[in-house]
Structure 1
Amino acid sequence: MTLPIFPTLPGQGWGVKKTPTFSTRVSTHVSGREVRVPLYAHALYQFELSFDALDSSGANAALQSQSLQTLMGFWMSCGGQLNTFLYVDPTDNAVTAQTIATGDGATTTFTLGRAIGGYYEPVSYVTAISNVSVSGVATTAYTLTAPNTITFAMAPPGGAAISATFTYAYQCRFLDDVAEFENFLSGLWKIGGLKFRQVR
Structure 2
Amino acid sequence: MSDELFPELPGLEWELTKTPIFNTKIMTSVNGRELRASYQAVPKYEFTMSYAFLRENKGRKELQTLESFFADRRGAFDSFLFKAPEDNAFNCNFVGDGSASVFQLYKLNGSKPMQIGNTATSYQAADPNMWNQVVSKPMWDTNVEKPMWNQATKTVNKDGQLVLSQPLEAGVGISITGTYFYRCRFKDDEQQYTHFMTKLWKASKVELVGSLGKKI
TM-score by length of 2: 0.74
Does residue 92 (structure 1) correspond to residue 75 (structure 2)? The answer is no
Alignment of 1:1-200 (within 5 A): 3-10=3-10, 12-26=12-26, 36-58=36-58, 61=59, 65-96=60-91, 98-99=92-93, 101-129=94-122, 133-135=127-129, 140-199=152-211, 200=215
Between 172-181 and 42-51, report the one with greater CA deviation: 42-51
Deviation of the 1:21 alpha carbon: 2.0
Residues in 1 aligned to 2:22 and 2:172: alpha-carbon distance in whole angstroms = 32
Secondary structure class of the residue paired with 1:106: coil
Structure with larger Rg? 2
RMSD of the TM alignment (CA)? 2.9
**Aligned partners of 1:129 and 1:165 also within 8 Å:** no
Residues in 1 aligned to 2:152 and 2:38: alpha-carbon distance in whole angstroms = 37
Q: Which runs of 5+ in 2 are unaligned?
A: 132-148
Which structure has greater strand proportion? Answer: 1
Deviation of the 1:175 alpha carbon: 0.6
Deviation of the 1:15 alpha carbon: 2.0
Query: What is the aligned length?
Result: 193
Residues in 1 aligned to 2:194 and 2:78: alpha-carbon distance in whole angstroms = 24
Between the aligned residues of both structures, percent identity stands at: 30
**Aligned partners of 2:154 and 2:162 also within 8 Å:** yes
Residues in 2 aligned to 1:129 and 1:86: alpha-carbon distance in whole angstroms = 17
Q: Which runs of 5+ in 1 are unaligned?
A: none
Residues in 1 aligned to 2:62 and 2:128: alpha-carbon distance in whole angstroms = 44
Residues in 2 aligned to 1:160 and 1:18: alpha-carbon distance in whole angstroms = 37
Residues in 1 aligned to 2:14 and 2:163: alpha-carbon distance in whole angstroms = 39
